[in-house]
Amino acid sequence: MATGIGLFLLSPQGVEAALGDRTLQPGMTHQDVKELQDLLKQKGYFTFHTSTGFYGDITKAAVERFQQAHHLPKTGIADANTLNTLLNDAQATLRVGSRGQAVTNLQNDLRALGTFNHATTGYFGPITEAAVKEFQLRNGLRATGIADSATLDGIKRIRANGTQQQTQETSRSATSQTTLQIGSRGNAVSEVQTLLKDANLFNYHTITGYYGEITATGVRDFQRQANLQVTGRADTQTVQALRDHVQKLKQQQAAAQPSQTVSTPTVQSESSFVLKVGQTSDSVRELQHQLKSLGYFNHQVTGYFGPITETAVRAFQRDHQLIVDGVVTTSTLNKIVDEAAKKLLPAIVLPSETAKSFDVMNLIADASQLLGTPYLWGGTTSRGMDCSGFIQYVFQKNGVQLPRTVAQMWNVGSTVSKPKVGDLVFFETYTRGPSHAGIYIGNNQFIHSGSSTGVTISNMTTNYWSSRYLGSKTYQ
């Protein structure tokens, strides 16, 4: 194996002459097969602990995975086309130890994509390897830290999409499609009026959704206060500055409030729900799931807010008359949640599976049997379940009918000061108000379907869950 790899690294042309001159297929035993296995192993497709020289089922499966990744016919046979693609791919691969302009270009691209935050050196070391791995993880690629052709193509495609998107944004700005002015109507205007009202700059008794002189006056007052060009029009710069101003006002108000002696659930501020490019979180993951259900996001859910997610958000905002800036504020998120909720289907439990009477221990047992079930937004079966679908399914199996969404479950439950086994515990995660829930099983633990974990057991005392806890409800 070491000899095969050494020959490849020292003389790729020699390997090509030896490896590309014949078709390799299951059943063969040959030095070319060993070299094929070496190359596939370097790229993460051949997972056996050593190269054997025998073309068996493991090699066939590795070749199939390579063919699928490179859009070749998935035959499992290493024909001339497959071998040439593999060899060309290997020569173009960048890895630890690589040097030159290709590495410099890679580092510059990764910096633009937010994974490489160091000086460009032209040397592929551990820092560059970590940046490549992060890019691969964000985009659903095999996280090897090796910049193979699939990774380099992905980088090139995303950079191109980002450039195209910037051009489109410039074009839209030039035609004032994202600028609100007298005569504008819709949800985007309502959002600006709400921000102005929070800043004490909207002198009308109600939000109208119509951009008239009162709204324009409020915008002018703010622009004057913020040292912006005083136009009376709410362009992107003005709206973002207004958001930042309102956020600071709310933080100042919260800091000025006296401490409370009675313990209350922790509620996140509205500003914490702003999602935008560069963020990675479960909130972004949930956003992508919901955009996917609405047909705006047609890619793998990663939890990373990149150019593809931003494009999906802009399309949704445009279709629903929101401010088209790709930033997920509370108003945008609430609209996404409302529209996605319409797509949810109730859990189905066969009558023969339903218990005749409620027993909390049976409830916990049924919930525990689903541990390990993958997360699937909108799912309500053992093939995949979302948060509320999991709860509805388990309760319905035990004779208790609950509504389909977490917010609805919160509304129909009876509040308890301290949860007991079988009660629901609610959390504020990706939007204001109850947005996630689980079944309390005692000892500060609850079972739930998390967007990044599937059905699992979590502890309420961890920093993540304790800071998001809203309260408990009982349905017994």
The pLDDT of residue 423 is 96
- How far apart (Å, rounded) are the C-alpha atoms in residues 225 and 457? 50
* 388-393 contacts at long range (C-beta below 8 A, 24 or more positions apart): 388/344, 388/437, 389/344, 389/347, 389/449, 390/448, 390/449, 390/455, 391/424, 391/437, 391/438, 391/439, 391/448, 392/346, 392/347, 393/347, 393/349
- How far apart (Å, rounded) are the C-alpha atoms in residues 86 and 80? 10
The pLDDT of residue 140 is 59
Note the pLDDT tens digit of each residue in 71-125. 889 999 999 889 888 877 666 688 887 777 788 889 888 888 777 877 788 888 8
Burial of 409 by CB count in 10 Å (0-12 exposed, 13-18 middle, 19+ buried)? buried
Does residue 339 have a pLDDT over 50?
yes
CA proximity to 331, closest of 270, 248, 377, 269 = 270
The mean pLDDT value for 130-135 works out to 82
Does residue 12 have a pLDDT over 60?
no
The pLDDT of residue 173 is 36
According to DSSP, residue 459 is labeled E
Burial of 416 by CB count in 10 Å (0-12 exposed, 13-18 middle, 19+ buried)? middle
- How far apart (Å, rounded) are the C-alpha atoms in residues 72 and 392? 44
- How far apart (Å, rounded) are the C-alpha atoms in residues 191 and 228? 20
Q: Cα 451 to the chain's mean position, in Å?
A: 10
Using alpha carbons only, what angle is made at residue 370 by residues 367 and 372, rounded to the nearest 5 degrees? 130
CA distances from 465 to 260, 285, 414, 446 (A): 21, 17, 21, 11
The pLDDT of residue 162 is 56
Q: Grade residue 273 by pLDDT with cuts at 50, 70 and 90.
A: low
The dihedral over CA atoms of 382, 386, 388, 390, expressed in degrees to the nearest 10, equals: 20
- How far apart (Å, rounded) are the C-alpha atoms in residues 205 and 203? 7
Angle of helix 101-112 versus helix 149-174 axis, rounded to 10? 50
Question: How many C-beta neighbours within 10 Å does residue 4 have?
Answer: 20
Does residue 233 have a pLDDT over 60?
yes
- How far apart (Å, rounded) are the C-alpha atoms in residues 165 and 311? 8
- Decide if 387 is catalytic: yes
The dihedral over CA atoms of 130, 135, 140, 141, expressed in degrees to the nearest 10, equals: -60
Q: Grade residue 155 by pLDDT with cuts at 50, 70 and 90.
A: confident
Question: How many C-beta neighbours within 10 Å does residue 210 have?
Answer: 15
Does residue 172 have a pLDDT over 60?
no
Q: Which of 112-121, 252-261, 437-446 has the lowest mean pLDDT?
A: 252-261
The pLDDT of residue 416 is 93
Specify whether the CB–CB gap between 336 and 321 falls below 8 A: no
The mean pLDDT value for 334-355 works out to 80
Q: Given CA atoms 126, 131, 137, 139 in this order, what sign does their dihedral have?
A: negative
Pair type for strands 436-442 and 384-385: unpaired
The mean pLDDT value for 178-183 works out to 82
Note the pLDDT tens digit of each residue in 60-71. 988 998 888 778
Note the pLDDT tens digit of each residue in 283-327. 888 899 889 888 899 888 888 888 889 999 999 998 888 888 888
Q: Which domains does the chain have, with CATH numbers?
A: 2-92 (1.10.101.10), 101-174 (1.10.101), 187-253 (no CATH), 270-341 (1.10.101.10), 351-474 (3.90.1720.10)
CA distances from 307 to 18, 154, 159, 304 (A): 43, 13, 9, 10
Q: Grade residue 348 by pLDDT with cuts at 50, 70 and 90.
A: confident
Does residue 264 have a pLDDT over 60?
no
Q: Grade residue 138 by pLDDT with cuts at 50, 70 and 90.
A: low
CA proximity to 313, closest of 201, 206, 59, 294 = 294
Note the pLDDT tens digit of each residue in 407-429. 899 998 899 999 999 999 999 88
- How far apart (Å, rounded) are the C-alpha atoms in residues 233 and 384? 47
CA distances from 102 to 16, 289, 317, 420 (A): 22, 36, 39, 60
The mean pLDDT value for 155-183 works out to 58
- Decide if 436 is catalytic: yes
The whole model's pTM is what? 0.47
Q: Grade residue 137 by pLDDT with cuts at 50, 70 and 90.
A: low
